[in-house]
Structure 1
Amino acid sequence: MGIDHYNVFVIGTGTAGKGVAKECAAEGMSVAIADNRVYGGTCPNRGCDPKKVLVAATEMVQMATNLKGKGITSVPGINWQDLQSFKERFTNAVPAATEKDLKKSRY
């Protein structure tokens, strides 16, 4: 097994890691990138983006609760399983889309 040599080795495939890798590749450097979790980083996979979906649902219930009797007649409930499925529709696509995007940056 041979040893591959790279100008830059990036740890992490989140926004910062992708940015560094793509800029270095655009400058003609050979770049390796690795992540110890699925590609895409914390924010789109299990942080900021999925949190926004979950928080929005709870905020909607809280607002309806606050306005019940003031024009709002009932407070909706949350089906946790359906909400998780909705969130996963976009988070599940992130790793493959990230990897495809990084592969396009090869020079």
Structure 2
Amino acid sequence: MKMYDDIIIGSGPVAFTMVPGLTAAHKKVLVVENQDFGGVCPNRGCEPKIFLEGAVTAALTSQKLQNLGVDSPATLNW
């Protein structure tokens, strides 16, 4: 039976953050992934979030610039 110092369930962003440090400390690491390698974010989840975050950032920025050259700040109608 193989022995590991650490077992990480899921290969998402946390695994990408933890594995380099663990292997640098000479730990034997096993990453268990049931679906797509990399987790939800790079495969299905982050692109919609990034798109929506961009729209919100633009609207909030325009609100902060009101009366500083922006007459009518952006609004969102989801």
Where on the TM-score scale, by shorter chain, does this alignment land: which range? 0.5 to 0.7
Equivalent of residue 23 in structure 1, options 21, 25, 28:
21
Q: Deviations over 1:21-63 (max 9, x none)?
A: 22101111011101111101111101012x268x58xx8xxxx
* Aligned counterparts of 1:19 and 1:7: Cα–Cα separation in 2: 17
Alignment of 1:46-85 (within 5 A): 46-49=44-47, 51=48
Q: Which runs of 5+ in 2 are unaligned?
A: 56-78
Q: Which runs of 5+ in 1 are unaligned?
A: 60-107
Match of 2:67 in 1: none
The aligned amino acid for 1:7 is D
3-state secondary structure, aligned to 1:47: helix
The aligned amino acid for 2:37 is Y
Which of 1 and 2 has higher RCO (CA within 8 Å, sep 6+)? 1
* Aligned counterparts of 1:15 and 1:52: Cα–Cα separation in 2: 15
Between the aligned residues of both structures, percent identity stands at 30
Match of 2:7 in 1: 9
RMSD: 2.0
Q: Which runs of 4+ in 1 moved over 2 A?
A: none
